[in-house]
Structure 1
Amino acid sequence: MEIVISVTAKVAEYLVAPIIYPFTYCCTYKTNFEKLNNEVDKLKNARDSVQYKVDDSRIKGDGIQQHVEEWLIAANKEINEVEILIEDREFKQPLSKKAEREANAIVGLHEKGRFDSVSFRTIPEETWLKSTQDFMHFESRKSTLKEILDALSNRNFNMIGVYGMGGIGKTTLVKEVGRQAKENNLFEKVISSRVSQTPQIKEIQREIAEKLGLKIDEESETVRAWRLLEQLKKETKILIILDDIWGSLDLEAIGIPVADDNGGCKVLLTARSQDVLSCKMDCQQNFVVDVLNEKEAWSLFKKMTGDCIENGELKSVATEVVKECAGLPIAIVPVAKALKNKSLYEWRNALRQLKRPFLRSFSGTQAVAAYSTIELSYYQLEGEELRRTFLLIGYAFISCVKDVICYGMGLGLFQNINTLEEARDRAHTLVDKLKNSCLLLDGDTTISIASRVQHVFAVENETSWPDKDTLKVCTAISLFNTNISELPQGFECPQLKYFHIRNDPSLRISDNIFTGMTELRVLDFTEMHLLALPSSLGLLQNLQTLSLDFCILGDIAIIGDLKKLEILTLRGSDMEKLVEEMGELTQLRLLDLSYCFNLQVIPPNVISSLSRLEELYIGQSPIMWGKVGGVDGERRNASLDELNNLSKLTSLEILIQDEKTLPRDLSFFKMLQRYRISIGYDWWSVGPWDGISRKFKLKLTNGANICLNEGHIMQLKGIEDLTLDGLPDMKNVLCEPGREVFPKLNRLQIEHNGNLVRLVDTMDCTPAPTIAFPLLESLFLRDLRNLEEICCGPLTAESFSKLKTIRVEGCDKLKNVFPLVIELTQLRTLELKNVFPLVIEKCISECHFQATYMQNDDQCSSHVNINNMLENICREMDKTQMKRFYPIKLYVQ
């Protein structure tokens, strides 16, 4: 009976098993792959979230944690492997088991991706620590330099001083000391801070802490000093340079250790007086920086002017000129620049001016010589326009050319200028001339000249205020980081043309402040709290330029009264909506709303009313273009159609987050000379200014109604940087018969397009051949699943000839990078990610690498040996060709 049962059971097993097993397998197979799909989607979301944080941190200049970067690499690798696994299901049983293992691995990887922080603050190193270009290698300087380095090596000295008159070269010398001290491992860190005439303890603390990588947010100077002191005591070898000390400075109040047990911290000070160092700072050893001797002065002067001064009568005059410069580098350099290639009579005239007696508030013959020589260089400048620009940069504390344009236009500085584009060219030209004349080095002297020549009152870190008689003749007032709590009531400035207050949010401004300055043409309140603009602002009917950058703003409707206003900048200011009254500024030529991160609403018809507008900057402001709101359905925000009413618009920076709001009529594109246009991106992804003047980024999603065939993009003149993301209808980037394809383009990025077959197709173009991308240096192609080739058809030799970087990722059907007829002589970097080995073989061989190892088709079909194959390729490269393309980088993931 047991035998019968056993046999029966066995028969049942053979009969039932073939039926149950496939059913069980199918269920398990489906479950495993569903689980794998779910887990990889979760990992992708986690990966994208971490990547966004990483990208944002990099934009801010922060470093990225190494374990975060390693996790991103591992996540990308796992995602790529799983995608291959999901696509290849022919061998179901083993793949089902592998799917289960991969799903479990992804769960573990996902858990590891929960980071509290992805970045860390980077510690900036002084830029001058890596450069020697400013140091003058004269024997007198070399000996002093060596003596200072020896003193810093002495364990008995922890505070050393360097003194000499202004403009003698103290700062340059101590920077070279710091550079060599670090290079010779005397110190691990070298940091510097400029003290100036009126020391700002908090600012010095902030600068030193920042360069140490220490964050101090406390308001109390005492607490900040304690934090800084504790950190500096931990440093083993650090040199702190405090430049330009004018009097007693309490180092302990700053947080700098000065006791004998100060560890590895040493201090190097510079001052104009030995008494300051010896008596007020108790330096243990001081070194004087003297003027250049006669031979050194002549050598420096000759270097600036050239050998021409060795000839004939000019040499005797030049010798006298150098003598009047009194061995001061700050005098020698600008005078030499001013007189280079000038006629003999100009040299003689300059010499007479140098010898002319005058009264100044300076003491000492050398100080007088410094002032006199810079003043001479000022008078040697060609034309009133250049001289006024020089003074404006000095008393307005200008650090960028854009301010020269805005202030210069408001003051009527530029001659025979009709447009802002012309003003921009003129400003750059003038600034370059001043740089070449070495006249952007000494702000104090510039302000002194401006004070006498133009009755300018300009102060930094001061509490003083001019008397009434001075104000009546004053033409410009510039207050920078002042400690003035309140401006005088109703002060009279009938001649005032320029008024600037910067970085003083606590300053109280009366409502009638502008009553006595009706001739004002330029007004700049930067980093101020202005909950309501003074009502007397409406009296400024001659105002041309108004700047309210980085201010906290409340009611600004009064701006509408400024009928002659031509330039209005509100960069970085805190506001959510523009006022309708701004539409009354019909003379406005420039409107800057950059970095207004809270600005979302511009009332309808405001922009279209600004018919004279030439430049509009709203590139980082999240405007809700064309949105509809209200119970009556009335449009509450500006439409992009309004831009077509701006017939003079030549410069545009704009962010259009919703590509569906883009109008079909983009005729204003044709007029643009400078632009940075981002369509379909969020405001935070626009990125910082990178110096590119013509940039266009377009990202489309399903449902966007934009057609490239209408020539929208080609209406833009001279695109330098082009990003195309999406664009499902695009079959090739463009080819129009008889024309160049993007002749100015420097960078091209195309991604997420499943229909693109080739970038350039000239097969049917006549006349041929076509010039395609003659200036392109960087090409990035990503996720173009149907891309077969980059170019097809006849092209000229100039096409793609400047390419330096090629990055290809996720282009499965790409047959080769470029045909052999294209000479990539400038190629330096080739990055290939997520491509098949066959593509790698084509890419490398047709970039003129010798890749004999890759000619075997069996080896090319192997996924496992990609890295090994590339190593063999590099070994077998011809040395001449390797040198030609060095340093080539091959990335395969």
Structure 2
Amino acid sequence: MDFVSSFAASISRDLVCGAVDELRYPCCFHDLVEGLEHEDKMLVDTKKRVQEHVHHQKRQLKKTDELMHKWLNQANNLSNDVDNLLTETRTNKIYCFGKCPNLFWRYRLGKKLVKNKGDVKKCIGEGSKYMQFERLASLPGLRYFSPERCLKFESTQSAYDQLMQALNDDTVNMVGMYGMPGCGKTTLAMEVGRKAKEEGLFGEVVFVPVSSVVEIQRIQEKIASWLQFDFPQKEEIQRAQCLDKFIGENHENVLLILDDVWHRLDFEAIGIPSFKNHRGCKVLITTRSEAVCSLNDCQKKIRLKTIELEEAWKLFQTQAQITEDTSNALKKLAQEISDKCEGLLVAIVAIANTLKGKGEADWKVASDNLKRCKPVIIEGGLQNPYKILRVSYDNLDPVEQSLFLLCSVFPEDFEIPVEDLIRIAIGVGLVEEVVTFEGARNKVIVAKDKLLSFSLLLDAVGVNCVKMHDLVRDVARWIARNDGKAIECVMENNANLVDSTPIRYLWCKQFPVELDCSSIEFLCIKTDTEVSEGIFKGIASLRVLILCWEGHQRREFSTMSLKSLTDLHSLFLSGWELFDISFVGDMKKLESLTLHNCSLPELIDVLVTQVPNLRLLDLSGCEMEGNPFEVTGKHPRIEELYINDDRPEWDLEDEDPPEFFSKFSVPQPLERYQIRLGKYFSKYQQKCLSHGRTLFLSCFDTSNVAVRNLATKAEILYIANIRGDVKSIIPGIFQIEGGGGGMNHGWIELLIKKSENIVHLVDTGKHLNEVGSLCPSCAS
């Protein structure tokens, strides 16, 4: 009898539930319509992004997946069905004198709405794997000052008008602009390119620095980057053919600006289409010499003159903030200094900015220094600009001077990542007597910002990068040589440096033979040739070493050769296969250890026990054994930690969190970190590198206190596969701090994926009044 009762109850329950489920079609009709409209908008967005991916694949000269086209057809058909259904729902069928809704009509359409919504959600899920996640943003221009101010000069306006006329002339495909270094060629070229694209003369405008050492592969990569093209080939010849074909087939009108050209260029070897093969591709080169324009067969040659003394004086007054209220004595000093700049924009802007806001005594000292400055033997009539920039240097404080000289070791037109510059500067001892690494970092940033404000450094095209004008760089190296310690950058292989001046900083592709190494403090070797292990024995004073293998595959390297570098403060190794890292145990002064794209054995406790001063550890892109957090968590002083680990051990394999999380710990002093564990968010990471605290977790174990603390302090937090008995992010995982209505640090961006168990971002039922400023700028 109990069985019969239980069976009857079960049948009744199913009937009631079924009836209730059926009633939702007419009773929740408007909600069902809104639900389908929302999913339809998401499907439209997904289709758009898949179509962008198809377009991108075609631009790369690659075949697109047939399944992708099949999905697009299915999605288009489904969109049409949804549009027809939504149109039918808007007819608003009624009966009974217009007073009551037609329930049968709503019931019939309601079932269709639910079915279509399910079909659309399934279609979106299938299409998401074809979506294009990464898109290159347009790149900013490189300027000393606004183009509006630049074009106020008569000489500059004349060159600008001639350039625009040449770009509009269909019979001209090669244009050359020449003039003295520092007269504003790069600024004007960028402005002309911007204006030409704005007016629709060209579909694409590409800007590539060339420099005195022509590196074809680098030029090819720069062009491809601007055009969002990925090379399938590695050899220069194959790349050239591919680039030529790509530009010819995908771009009807391209303006290619090649900046700072010194020699005749082999356009065919680079992959730049010839005028005969592709009439829509124009080239504008900037150079110091009219002869270089002729060598490159420029049909139109335009000279950019230095500005007139009267124009220079007006600019100088603006930059130095000299007004009518300024004393006549100071105005006279300023006029003398302005005339010495000889109309070169880079010199005017630099000296005016370094003297801006200073008293008359400082101006007198600058003027006296300029008069007493030793004669300069420089070709091209640049004696006075060299002296001017020397005086600008003298007006800097010691930290700014040191950073200025350090920047000149990088190759010509090199875009210097600010993060690399900070680590090198701290390593060479540019900042002293700072208790924390963060404090030293801030001092370098302040000095860098000062140099930018003085126009002795420039914002580069690359994100969070700076660069030096080639004239300013030459002056910096001239200053270093005159002060007794040379700064050298040798980009050729097998180069010899024969000079009696001791070398302080050296950047090279291959270590020069027979070189006195006793005074070198910073050494960077970026090479694809053999590195002799014996070169490190004679560099006892070395404080910073960067050793990068630039071949296609990792190269074996014996780290034992580094054991003699006991004074090293910063070490950067990239692209090497390392079998032993115990050598760091001899580096008692090591503060920064960066290993990029290396394969290495598991971290060992020598990092904890024998490298007590280590403040920064960067293992980005490394393949390693074991769990690095077992070691790093024990270190007493690590303040900055950077780890990208794609191993499946960090991903979710079953319902339980990965075993790696059970041994996850981080150093207590940790203040700055960029950590990605698992592959799920690998495509998102690049855009977030400028932030100090980022965390990307393919699996988030809420029971691990260390992981939860990192997530709480993060500025950028991306998490997936949340595991734990929680239904909300706040306060289920993260707690609202008492009374304040906020966290330790507000999230700038929060992204949550693949966590179906999470019902609420914030459980407002109990904490509505406390949410407040919890995440003021958060996007979820």
TM range (shorter): 0.7 to 0.9
Q: CA distance change for structure 1 residues 557 and 174 in 2, over 3 Å: closer, same or farther? A: same
| Whole-Å separation in 2 of the counterparts to 1:293 and 1:196 | 28
Q: Of 535, 545, 551, which residue of structure 2 is paired with 1:513?
A: 535
1:493–1:516 contact (8 Å) kept in structure 2: yes
Which of 360, 369, 391 lines up with 2:405 in the alignment? 391
**1:87-126 paired onto structure 2 within 5 Å:** 102=115, 113=126, 118-119=131-132, 125-126=138-139
SS in 1 for 2:506: strand
Equivalence for 1:477? 506
Q: Which residue of 1 aligns with 2:776?
A: 776
Contact 1:575-1:596 at 8 Å conserved across structures: no
Note the C-alpha offset of 1:316: 0.9
Residue deviations 1:838-869 (CA, integer Å, cap 9, x gap)? xxxxxxxxxxxxxxxxxxxxxxxxxxxxxxxx
- For the structure 1 residues 772 and 694, does the alpha-carbon distance in structure 2 shift closer, same or farther, using more than 3 Å as the test? farther
Q: Structure 1 698/538 Cα, relative in aligned 2: closer, same or farther at 3 Å?
A: closer
The one-letter amino acid paired with 2:402 is R
- Counterpart for residue 194 of structure 2: 179
Alignment correspondent of 2:261 = 245
- Contact 1:533 1:556 survives alignment (8 Å): no
Structure 1 distance, partners of 2:256, 2:344, is: 26
Does the CA contact (< 8 Å) of 2:340 and 2:385 recur in 1? no
Residue 739 of structure 1, CA deviation: 3.8
1:120 Cα offset (Å): 9.5
Aligned runs of 1:371-520 on 2, under 5 Å?
A: 371-382=386-397, 384-396=398-410, 399-440=416-457, 441-442=468-469, 443-453=473-483, 455-459=485-489, 461-463=491-493, 465-467=495-497, 470=500, 473-479=502-508, 482=509, 484=510, 487-488=512-513, 491-502=515-526, 504=527, 506-520=528-542
For 1:578, the equivalent position in structure 2 comes to 603
By how many angstroms is 1:606 displaced?
4.1
Query: What's the counterpart of residue 141 of structure 2?
Result: 128
Name 1:783's counterpart in structure 2. Answer: none
Unaligned segments of structure 1, at least 5 residues: 1-21, 34-43, 82-89, 628-656, 781-893
Larger radius of gyration: 1
- The separation in 2 between residues aligned to 1:510 and 1:778, in whole angstroms, is 51
Alpha-carbon offset, residue 118 of structure 1: 4.4
Shift in Å, 1:677: 6.2
Structure 1 residue 271 displacement after superposition: 1.2
SS at match of 2:406: helix
Q: What amino acid is aligned across from residue 400 of structure 2 in structure 1?
A: L
Q: Once the 2 structures are TM-superposed, how far is the Cα of residue 741 of structure 1 from its aligned partner? A: 2.9
- The answer to whether the aligner puts 1:150 opposite 2:165 as a matched pair is yes
Residues 240 and 112 of structure 1: is their aligned pair in 2 closer, same or farther, counting only changes over 3 Å? same
The one-letter amino acid paired with 1:693 is G
The 1:195–1:461 alpha-carbon spacing in structure 2 relative to 1, beyond 3 Å, is same
Which residue of structure 2 lines up, in the alignment, with residue 792 of structure 1? none
Map residues 800-879 of structure 1 onto 2, 5 A cutoff: none
Give the aligned residue type for 1:332: I
Distance 1:242-1:605 versus aligned 2 partners, 3 A rule: closer
Query: For 1:247, what is the secondary structure of its paired residue?
Result: coil
1:548 aligned counterpart, secondary structure: strand
| Partner deviation per Cα, 1:86-117 (whole Å, 9 max, x = no partner) | xxxx99xx999969995999599869958995
TM superposition shift of 1:329: 0.4
Query: 1:228 offset after TM fit, Å?
Result: 3.5
- Please point out which of 369, 373, 385 is paired with 1:353: 369
Q: How far has the Cα of 1:272 moved from its partner?
A: 0.7
SS at match of 2:574: coil
| Maintained 8 Å contact 1:487/1:508 | no
SS of corresponding position for 1:475? strand
Aligned partner (choices 567, 578, 592) of residue 592 of structure 2: 567
Note if contact 2:644-2:677 (Cα within 8 Å) is conserved in structure 1. Answer: no
Alignment correspondent of 1:16: none
1:442-841 pair list within 5 angstroms: 442=469, 443-453=473-483, 455-459=485-489, 461-463=491-493, 465-467=495-497, 470=500, 473-479=502-508, 482=509, 484=510, 487-488=512-513, 491-502=515-526, 504=527, 506-528=528-550, 529-533=554-558, 535-575=560-600, 577-578=602-603, 581-602=606-627, 606-607=631-632, 610-620=635-645, 622=647, 658=657, 662=661, 671-675=669-673, 682=680, 684=682, 687-688=685-686, 689-694=688-693, 706=703, 720=715, 725=722, 727-729=724-726, 733=731, 734-735=735-736, 737-742=738-743, 744-747=745-748, 752-753=756-757, 759-760=763-764, 772-773=772-773, 776-778=776-778, 780=780
Provide the rounded CA distance (Å) in 2 between the counterparts of 1:681 and 1:201.
33
Cα distance 1:174–1:274, how it changes in 2: closer, same or farther (>3 A)? same
Distance 1:558 1:595 in 2: 20
Alpha-carbon distance, 1:405 to partner = 3.3
Q: Tell me if structure 1 keeps the 8 A contact 2:643–2:674.
A: no
More displaced, 437-446 or 455-464? 455-464
SS across alignment from 1:155: coil
Secondary structure of residue in 2 paired with 1:395: coil
Tell me, yes or no, if the aligned pair for 2:650 and 2:658 is still in contact at 8 Å. Answer: no
- State the Cα distance separating 1:436 from its structure 2 match: 1.3
Contact 2:428–2:543, Cα closer than 8 Å, also in 1: yes
Q: State how far apart, in whole Å, the 2-side matches of 1:613 and 1:68 are.
A: 49
Equivalenced residue count is 679
Q: Determine the structure 1 residue equivalent to 2:94.
A: none
* Partner Cα separation in structure 2 for residue 588 and residue 369 of structure 1: 46
1:190 matched residue in structure 2 = 205
The yes-or-no answer on 1:325 pairing with 2:341 is: yes
The change in CA–CA distance for 1:66 and 1:380 in structure 2 (over 3 A counts) is farther
Gaps of 5+ in 2: 1-10, 23-38, 86-102, 458-467
Structure 1 residues 550 and 74: CA distance shift in structure 2, 3 A? farther
* Contact kept? 2:555, 2:575, Cα under 8 Å: no
Q: How far 1:422 sits from its partner (Å)? A: 1.2
Bigger Cα displacement from structure 2, 244-253 vs 136-145: 244-253
Distance 2:430 2:712 in 1: 30
Contact 2:316 2:349 in 1 (8 A): yes
- Residues 262-273 of structure 1: pairs in structure 2 closer than 5 A: 262-273=278-289
Deviations 1:228-260 (A, max 9, x none): 444445553332222212122233333334556
Q: What SS class does the counterpart of residue 283 from structure 2 fall into?
A: strand
Following TM superposition, by how much is the alpha carbon of 1:755 offset from its aligned partner in structure 2, in angstroms?
Answer: 6.7
Say whether the 8 Å CA contact 1:620–1:683 is kept in structure 2: no
Given that residues 242 and 270 in structure 1 are in contact (C-alpha distance below 8 angstroms), is that contact kept between their aligned partners in structure 2? yes
Label 1:413 to 1:572 Cα distance change in 2 as closer, same or farther (>3 A). Answer: same
Answer yes or no: is the 8 Å Cα contact 1:160–1:284 preserved in 2. yes
Are 1:622 and 1:683, in contact at CA under 8 Å, matched by a contact in 2? Answer: no
Q: Residues 621 and 683 of structure 1 are in contact (CA less than 8 Å); yes or no, is this contact kept in structure 2?
A: no
Q: 1:212 to 1:666 in 2, by over 3 A?
A: closer
Q: Following the alignment from structure 1 to structure 2, what is the Cα–Cα distance between the partners of residues 414 and 231?
A: 48
Report which structure shows greater RCO (CA 8 Å, sep ≥6). 2
SS of 1:512's equivalent in the other structure is helix
1:170-207 CA-to-partner distances (Å, cap 9, x unmatched) read 11112222222222233333223222112122322333
